[in-house]
Amino acid sequence: MGYYWIFLLLILGCAIFAGSASRKVQTSYQTYGSMQNSSRMTGYDAAVRLLRNHGVQDISVGRVQGTLTDHYHPNKKIVNLSENVYGQDSIAAVAVAAHEIGHVLQKKDNYLPYVIRTILVPITNIGSRLAMPLVLLGLVLDLFVLGTQNSSLGFYLAMGGVVLYGLSTLFALVTLPVEYNASRRAKKMLIEEGILREEELPYADKMLDAAASTYLASLMTSLVYFLRFLVWVLMIFGRGNRRRG
């Protein structure tokens, strides 16, 4: 029962932090989305300039519906900007656009955390689907098939499920340096290309830092759920071993 309350408090804390991070992003976007940048460039203009000036010729810039739905789709070779970012000439718009171009350049430069995250995407998707079935299969084998043979196969299968479940936490961990690096690249490019002035950079910095905090919240939440899952599996098999003993 003690573990239950500990994890409940941890999950509650993560939820509060995630909610605070989300509100910070929205507030920052509203504030700096109303501040016109000195170059008068829209998010689309900034993205196209940065791609061209960094020798990227095969990536297009598109528009998608929604707010802060901006993303880079490497397989389709397109950077999709949300409607406001695409057409606004605000500090927030060019900051967000430059961040997405930062991801393009990460791929171009074979930035190691980006490469690892790309590799983890399909593996994590498969792992999330197989984790619980493996744990349940291990439990069934341990209780009804192998329980009288003192075999650890059921336990090892279940722990394999735990490892697969933990891939989502590993993905969230690798995502942090990817996002922070994209923001650092964005801020450097915005100044070097004359899209923002030095006195405007702190505003872009606050916008990008607010967005990065959401990824930290995701990592914290994923880690808590992984630890809860691990403890749950260990407790189940611990009780099973005590019954057989």
Point out the residues that are catalytic: 100
d(CA 1, CA 103): 44
**Packed helices 153-192 and 91-109: angle between N→C axes, nearest 10 degrees:** 120
Q: List the Cα angle 90/93/98 in 5-degree steps.
A: 130
d(CA 19, CA 167): 24
38: tokens are 């000195």
Closest CA to 123 of 172, 161, 164: 164
231: tokens are 């403890």
DSSP 170-233: HHHHHHHHHHHHHHHHHHHHHHHTTSS-GGGHHHHHHHHHHHHHHHHHHHHHHHHHHHHHHHHH
Backbone conformation region of residue 151, classed left if phi is above 0, alpha if psi is from -120 to 50, else beta = beta
**What is the spatial order of strands in the sheet that 71-73 belongs to?**
60-64, 78-82, 71-73
Provide the pairing of β-strand 60-64 with 71-73.
Answer: unpaired
